[in-house]
Structure 1
Amino acid sequence: MFKKLWILPLVMLVCLIPFVSAHAAAKPEITNVRTATRTDANTPFVRTVLDVSGKVNPKLYIDNSGEYVFVTLPNTGVAKNVPKTYKPNGNVVSRLTLETRSSGTDVTIKVPQAVTKNDLKVFTLPGVTGNKNSSRVVIDVNDKSGKVKPWRHWGDTNIGIKNGNTSKTNSRWNPANKQPASSVPAYSSSKTYSLTKGLQGKTIAIDPGHGGSDSGALGAYSKEKDVTLAISKKVASLLSAAGANVVMTRTTDVDVYAPYDGAVEELQARCNIANAAKADVFVCIHIDSFDSPSAGGVTAYYNSKTPYDYGLANYIHLQNMKATNFPDRGVKTANFYVLLHTNMPATLLELGFISNPGEERALNSDAQQQNFAESIVKGLADYFNHNGN
Structure 2
Amino acid sequence: MKKLCMIPLLAIACLLPLVSVQAAANTEITSVRVATRNDANKPFVRTVLDVSRKVTPRLYIDKSGRYVTVTLPNTKIDKNVQKQYDANSNVVSRIWLTQRSSGTDLNIKVPRQVTAQDVKVFTLPGDKKANRSDRVVVDVNDKSGKVKQWKHWGNESIGIHSSQNTKRTKTGGSSVTVPSYGGSASYSLTKGLKGKTICIDPGHGGSDTGALGAFSQEKNITLAISKKVQTLLQQAGANVIMTRTTDVDVYAPNDGAVEELQARCNIANAAKADAFVCIHIDSYSSADAGGVTAYYNSKTSHDAGLAKYIHNQNMKATNFQDRGVRTANFYVLLHTNMPATLLELGFISNPGEEKALNSEAQQQNFAESIVKGLADYFDNNGI
TM-score of the two chains, using structure 1 as the length reference: 0.55
Q: Encode CA deviations 1:223-273: one digit per residue, 9 max, x unaligned.
A: 000000000000000000000000000000000000001110000000000
Q: Does 1:326 align with 2:313?
A: no
CA distance in 2, matches of 1:235, 1:186: 28
CA distance in 2, matches of 1:93, 1:257: 27
Q: Give the conservation status (yes or no) of the 8 Å contact 2:153–2:334.
A: no
- Could you tell me how far 1:197 is from its partner in structure 2? 0.5
CA distance in 2, matches of 1:318, 1:303: 17
Cα 1:141–1:373 change in 2 (3 A) is closer
Paired residues for 1:137-156 under 5 Å: 140=158
Q: What 5-or-longer segments of structure 2 have no aligned partner?
A: 1-39, 46-87, 91-140, 161-178
CA distance in 2, matches of 1:240, 1:354: 28
1:362 match: secondary structure: helix
Cα 1:203–1:141 change in 2 (3 A) is closer
Question: Equivalent pairs: percent with the same residue?
Answer: 74
1:291 match: secondary structure: coil
Q: Does 1:281 align with 2:275?
A: yes
Q: Does 1:91 align with 2:144?
A: yes
Pick from 292, 303, 308 the counterpart of residue 298 of structure 1. 292
Query: What does residue 340 of structure 2 align with?
Result: 346
Q: Does 1:362 align with 2:356?
A: yes
- Could you tell me how far 1:187 is from its partner in structure 2? 1.2
Paired residues for 1:187-336 under 5 Å: 187-188=181-182, 190-336=184-330
CA distance in 1, matches of 2:44, 2:340: 18
Q: Encode CA deviations 1:310-347: one digit per residue, 9 max, x unaligned.
A: 00000000000000000000111111000000010000
CA distance in 2, matches of 1:354, 1:346: 23
Cα 1:363–1:188 change in 2 (3 A) is same
- Could you tell me how far 1:190 is from its partner in structure 2? 3.5
1:272 match: secondary structure: helix
Cα 1:375–1:38 change in 2 (3 A) is farther
Q: Give the conservation status (yes or no) of the 8 Å contact 1:271–1:342.
A: yes
Cα 1:38–1:347 change in 2 (3 A) is farther
Q: What 5-or-longer segments of structure 1 have no aligned partner?
A: 1-33, 46-87, 95-118, 126-136, 143-184
1:192 match: secondary structure: strand
- Could you tell me how far 1:91 is from its partner in structure 2? 1.0
CA distance in 1, matches of 2:278, 2:293: 12
CA distance in 2, matches of 1:188, 1:236: 30
* Number of aligned positions between the proteins: 231
Q: Cα RMSD between the aligned structures?
A: 3.0
2:188 match: secondary structure: coil
Q: Give the conservation status (yes or no) of the 8 Å contact 1:270–1:338.
A: yes
Cα 1:360–1:276 change in 2 (3 A) is same
Instruction: For 1:290, give the aligned amino acid.
Output: Y
Instruction: For 1:274, give the aligned amino acid.
Output: A
CA distance in 1, matches of 2:256, 2:371: 31
Cα 1:194–1:188 change in 2 (3 A) is farther
Instruction: For 1:386, give the aligned amino acid.
Output: N
Query: What does residue 14 of structure 1 align with?
Result: none
Cα 1:141–1:305 change in 2 (3 A) is closer
Q: Encode CA deviations 1:159-186: one digit per residue, 9 max, x unaligned.
A: xxxxxxxxxxxxxxxxxxxxxxxxxx98
CA distance in 2, matches of 1:124, 1:262: 23
Q: Give the conservation status (yes or no) of the 8 Å contact 2:159–2:182.
A: no
Q: Give the conservation status (yes or no) of the 8 Å contact 1:38–1:44.
A: no
Cα 1:186–1:247 change in 2 (3 A) is closer
Q: Give the conservation status (yes or no) of the 8 Å contact 2:347–2:353.
A: yes
Instruction: For 2:322, give the aligned amino acid.
Output: D
Query: What does residue 366 of structure 2 align with?
Result: 372
- Could you tell me how far 1:35 is from its partner in structure 2? 4.7
Q: Encode CA deviations 1:351-388: one digit per residue, 9 max, x unaligned.
A: 00000000000000000000000000000000000100
CA distance in 2, matches of 1:285, 1:375: 13
Query: What does residue 82 of structure 2 align with?
Result: none
Q: Give the conservation status (yes or no) of the 8 Å contact 2:280–2:345.
A: yes
Instruction: For 1:243, give the aligned amino acid.
Output: G
Instruction: For 2:192, give the aligned amino acid.
Output: G
